[in-house]
Amino acid sequence: MKTMAALTAVSLLAFVAARAADRPEAPRLQLVRLDGSLNASAQARPPLIASGAEIRVTSGTAVFESDSHVEIRAEEGDAFVFRSFPPSDERGAGLSLTVPADALSALNVDVGGIKLLVSPGGAVDVSSQRAGREDVVIASRRVDLVPGSALASGEGLTFKSAARSGPGLDEGIGFSVFVPYGQYFQNSPPDTAAIDVMSTDEGGWTWTAEGLASVSSGIETAIASWPDVSQKLARTMAEKYGEPSQASPDFLIWNDNGPWKKTVVYRYGDRFLRQSIRFDVPQARATKLSEMEMGLTFDPSSQELSAASQSEDTNVLALNLAHDVLDGKMTATQARAAYARAVSLSSAGKSVPEMRVLLF
């Protein structure tokens, strides 16, 4: 009985610890780019912005990011007050952004792939009830949902009440944005030595920098504990296409890179490179993709045809063969044979045009 009680106690403690670890902490906000000047209240020390700080961009542009998937893009005349709060019994950890009524222009705020425009006098609250979901509530009426918002892979959106794109999201409207799991900055801090900091008569500070930009921590930080083979592939994609559009501990995403609508490198899996193109597959022919057994999938909602394998060459090959199968030029069986021949030739050092470029 004592052993069972002890095991129960250990299990309960482990469950409580796991639940505590899953609860996001109070979000942090940091400056990631500055080309111009801004005024910061006394609570702010570069590059981190402390809770309660007021920021006013007096010239040029500035970009800030939280470790909870919120980005702020500001330009001359923009201003905001940032507040952060830890989790409680009543609410999850979160942040609030308030644009003062005397700000000269609206503020661009992104939550995941959702773009908001917060006008002077407007405010939004963003809280994390659990990791992987940000709950957004319009705290003051002057907030727009900007047309053209685009969710990235791994994100989703659910409205809790009626909403629309365009002027005037009503106060109290809420929606949830499902974002990649984890609380982390996408970028490493910029070089604070490059920021000229001077005190103001009001007790605050003026920050000035020319072309200051943080170094993306996306690649090396995200892949530090990845298996060697997926690490190597991630670096290869970065060398070819530059910094990823999105980095997380489990995947990297490039949007609109080269011929691809999207490229994703995964930490784990047999097919850890997935690449997508815009392509309309008739519903009656979609089953032919699975018959080819090449990691091909089609998403009718986004009109994206994807290939997943261990290299870009084999993805290109699979898509070229998929085009021929869907066009009726060959069967799935013939495509599998052609795939095997092409891979064999490539392994022998021969050039295979079907593996170098999309031929349609």
| Domain assignment of residue 6, yes or no | no
| Domain assignment of residue 122, yes or no | yes
| Domain assignment of residue 51, yes or no | yes
Rounded-to-integer distance, Cα 43 and Cα 196, Å:
17
Query: How large is the average pLDDT for residues 59-84?
Result: 94
**What is the value of pTM for the model shown?**
0.56
Residues 45 and 106 in one domain: yes
Residues 156 and 302 in one domain: no
Residues 202 and 57 in one domain: yes
Which two tokens mark 283? Answer: 């519903």
Residue 26 DSSP one-character state: P
* pLDDT at site 14: 33
Residues 202 and 290 in one domain: no
Query: How large is the average pLDDT for residues 121-147?
Result: 82
| Domain assignment of residue 2, yes or no | no
Which two tokens mark 118? Answer: 């917060």
| Domain assignment of residue 301, yes or no | yes
Residues 70 and 172 in one domain: yes
* pLDDT at site 5: 40
Percent of the chain with pLDDT over 70: 83
Rounded-to-integer distance, Cα 224 and Cα 85, Å:
30
* pLDDT at site 15: 31
Residues 145 and 184 in one domain: yes
Q: Which of 180, 213, 246 is the last residue of a domain?
A: 213
Residues 169 and 206 in one domain: yes
Residue 319, exposed/middle/buried by CB under 10 A (0-12, 13-18, 19+)? buried
Q: Which of 44-53, 138-147, 298-307 has the lowest mean pLDDT?
A: 138-147
Q: Which domain holds residue 147?
A: 24-213
| Domain assignment of residue 3, yes or no | no
Q: Which of 163, 178, 213 is the last residue of a domain?
A: 213
Rounded-to-integer distance, Cα 309 and Cα 297, Å:
12
Rounded-to-integer distance, Cα 191 and Cα 3, Å:
55
E strand or H helix at 94: strand 93-98
Count of domains forming the chain: 2
Three-state SS for 48-63 is EECCCCEEEEEEEEEE
Q: Which of 213, 240, 267 is the last residue of a domain?
A: 213
| Domain assignment of residue 265, yes or no | yes
* pLDDT at site 98: 97
Residues 190 and 224 in one domain: no
| Domain assignment of residue 7, yes or no | no
**Of 261, 328, 260, 332, whose CA–CA distance to 294 is shortest?**
332
- Tens digits of per-residue pLDDT, 81-132? 999 999 887 778 899 999 999 999 999 999 987 889 999 999 999 998 665 6
Residues 190 and 274 in one domain: no
Residues 40 and 179 in one domain: yes
* pLDDT at site 152: 52
* β pairing state of 123-130 and 156-159: unpaired
Residues 192 and 277 in one domain: no
- Tens digits of per-residue pLDDT, 250-259? 889 999 898 9
Residues 161 and 145 in one domain: yes
- Tens digits of per-residue pLDDT, 241-275? 888 888 878 889 999 898 999 999 999 888 999 99
Rounded-to-integer distance, Cα 90 and Cα 99, Å:
25
Give me the DSSP letters along 135-190.
Answer: EEEEEES-EEE-TT--PPTT-EEEESS---SBS-PPTT-EEEEE--SS---SBPPP
Higher pLDDT, 318 or 114: 318
